[in-house]
Structure 1
Amino acid sequence: MNLTHLRVLEAVARHGSVTEAAKELHYSQPSVSHHLRRLEAATGARLVQRVVRGIRLTPEGELLARRAREIIGRVDAASVELATQVGLRAGRVRVAGFQTVLSTIVPKAAAELSASYPGIELVLTDVHAVEALRMLRAGHVDIALVFRHSDTPDEAEGLRLTHLLDDPLYLISQQPDQRLEDHRDSAWVGGCERCRAAMVTACERAGFTPRISYFSDDMVVVQSLVAAGMGVATLPGLALEAHRTPGIHATEITGNTRQIFAATYGEPPDPPATTALIKILKTIA
């Protein structure tokens, strides 16, 4: 027996017709019949019977066809796995993402990628999430690491998103166990436009509009201003994991999270290196 003979038998079993099996396999009908005769000679068993409207499998033929289906499935799966592994011996994956995810999840993922697939080159670019999406759509990167708050518009048109984690929002102040409404008269430190919008929304839900006196996209600057008593702020959990300034306290604001995604663009499947990195990112996140 060889794999070609088994593919022929399995196709005949599925279609119940030499003609249809020949069409699927791109063989001539005589060639299909020839392979069936060769398989019968190799097994010493009669596998097909001629009937008025074509052929049908004998019990021995049905048994072998079932086994052939299993064998072909395993061989095809092995071929896909092997092709993927070969594709991971070399290549490049380009990633654009925002500061907090690049300083927490990505370094661990980069180390894992390097250890598992040393032939893959990883290129990282630190940009805001909106710019990361522009780079992705323009073809400048393979993966954009982005976030979306629950009340922000969906930007997923044409994108394929892999959810990595939910990142909660925290009130940053000099005292523990504070509430947003405790700071309706305090000065606030605002971050980037999207983060600032999330802070304002959280405060408005608590019944007031924050008085934003300082603006900084840098999580170290934001925490330092709070530690110095200049105001309060909100920061996501990943920012606190990346850096924690002494003298501040973080209190989770319930019901306020941002979802973090690995975004790809275009028709699947993704290149093997891209798929491998997304799988690692998801596991670590």
Structure 2
Amino acid sequence: MIDSRLQLLLAVSEYGTVTAAAEALFRSPSGVSRQIKQLEAEIDLDLLEHDGRRVKLTSAGQRLVEHTRALNAQWESALSDTASAATQLCGPVVIGGFATILTAVVTPAVVRLRAEHRQVKPVAKEIYSQEISKALETGAIDVGLFVADESTSRLPDYLEVEEFMDDPIDLLVHRDHVFAVRDEVRLEEARHEEWITGLPHQDSYMELYAATRSAGYAPRSSHYAQDLTATTAMVAAGLGISAFPRIAQEISHPQVRRIPLAGEHRPHRRIMVTFRAGSRGNPRIDAAIHAMETVRTTLADRTPGPTTGP
């Protein structure tokens, strides 16, 4: 086994403070500090130095982290090769992802995994897309799903990434809205509408803003909500129109209608799956990804047309 203190050093490198690293690993800050000090004493080198309220790696610490990443990749390959010889899948596998993918894909995939491989212990964990690489490197998760954007365009080379699915964004309108009788709507047609959007720093707003910008305008936000229940309530009250990912749960409000967006500027999300380099041959990792791919196929087979609540 790789010395666990190296993983603690790696976490401090990623999160920038001992406290943040300890929180991510469910450890106490004092325990993390003590373990790293023990490692420093054993190798007779300073690995961390204070930089204001944060800590940074010394030159020796940076080199040791680089070696740790290489060791981790070799260890993942060794685990994958060894696990492939097992006659029965067993052990934990942690799948991380953002809220809507957790609801639509990861949860049913966990149910499928538990039914097909009773000795496997799948765990679902909500992780923001921007935190996926840290969670993988520190071992908090084994497989991650994230939305590809500028902040995730350059993932470190100790991770492998594959395309997982395309997630269209649909329009939500009041059932009495002029769009409600349509089978689809072009984004350009909503230029003069009042919108219910997320706040400017949130994913939902950035996705909508990028799409409307390509259509020649910015959404005129009148109200702000990221949560589907709150957004649906505002649309049902006639406060504006909104947009939501198709993989989100079904719209159940009787006053709200979901309409597919169409055309050249149709907004969508690219969802990627990622895992530690060398781990793809691990049967548990492969089984988790296969279960999610099966759920993805099921979702694609029932791609909706216009929908409304009961």
Matching residue's letter, 1:248:
V
CA distance in 1, matches of 2:152, 2:110: 30
Q: Residues 266 and 209 (structure 1 numbering): CA distance in 2 closer, same or farther, change over 3 Å?
A: same
The DSSP-based 3-state class of the residue aligned with 1:83 is coil
- Say if 1:132 and 1:246 are closer, same or farther in 2 by CA, change over 3 A: farther
Report the AA paired with residue 205 of structure 1: S
**Alpha-carbon distance in structure 1 between the residues aligned to 2:140 and 2:211:** 35
Q: In structure 2, do the counterparts of structure 1 residues 118 and 260 end up closer, same or farther at CA, with 3 Å as the change threshold?
A: same
- SS of 2:243's partner is strand
Q: Which residue of 2 aligns with 1:207?
A: 216
Q: Does 1:282 align with 2:260?
A: no
1:271 is displaced (CA, Å) by: 3.2
Quickly say closer, same or farther: Cα 1:263–1:153, change in 2 above 3 A.
closer
Give the residue type in structure 1 aligned to 2:239.
Answer: M
- Correspondences of 1:78-117 after superposition (within 5 Å): 83-86=85-88, 88=89, 90-117=90-117
| Per-residue deviation, residues 210-229 of structure 1 (Å, max 9, x unmatched) | 12232222122112211211
Unaligned stretches of 5+ residues in structure 1: 1-78
Aligned residues of 2:106 and 2:124 also touching (Cα < 8 A): no
The alignment's TM-score, normalised by the length of structure 1, stands at: 0.63
Residues 1:260 and 2:271 are matched in the alignment: yes
Compute the displacement of 1:161 (Å).
Answer: 1.9
Distance 1:83 1:171 in 2: 49
Contact 2:110 2:124 in 1 (8 A): no
Gaps of 5+ in 2: 1-80, 297-310
- TM-score normalised by L of structure 2: 0.58
Q: Distance in 2 between matches of 1:251 and 1:190?
A: 17
Query: SS state of the match for residue 103, structure 1?
Result: helix
**Contact 1:170 1:251 (8 Å CA) reproduced:** yes
Pair 270,218 (structure 1): closer, same or farther in 2 beyond 3 Å = farther
Q: 1:186 aligns with which of 193, 201, 222?
A: 193
Matches for 1:159-198 after TM superposition, within 5 Å? 159-174=159-174, 175-176=179-180, 177=182, 178-191=185-198, 193-198=202-207
Question: Amino acid of the residue matched to residue 157 of structure 1?
Answer: P
Please report the RMSD computed on the Cα atoms of aligned residues, expressed in angstroms: 2.6
Aligned length: 203
Greater displacement, 122-131 / 251-260: 251-260
Looking at structure 2, the residues matched to 143 and 81 of structure 1 have their Cα atoms a distance apart, in angstroms, of: 17
Paired residues for 1:39-78 under 5 Å: none
Q: Indicate the residue corresponding to 1:228 in structure 2.
A: 237
Matched residues, percent identical?
A: 25
CA distance, structure 2, for counterparts of residue 109 and residue 269 of structure 1: 17
Residues of 2 paired with 1:194 and 1:276: CA distance? 29
Task: Give the distance between the partners of 1:84 and 1:256, measured in 2 at CA.
Answer: 44
Quote how far apart the aligned CAs of 1:80 are: 8.2
- 249-258 vs 221-230, greater mean Cα deviation: 249-258
Q: What CA deviation, in whole Å up to 9, does each residue of 1:207-258 have, x standing for no partner?
A: 211122322221221122112111111111101x444433222232444321
In structure 1, the partner of 2:253 is 245
State yes or no: 1:273 paired with 2:284: yes
SS of equivalent to 2:168: strand
Q: Which moved more, 1:221-230 or 1:179-188?
A: 179-188
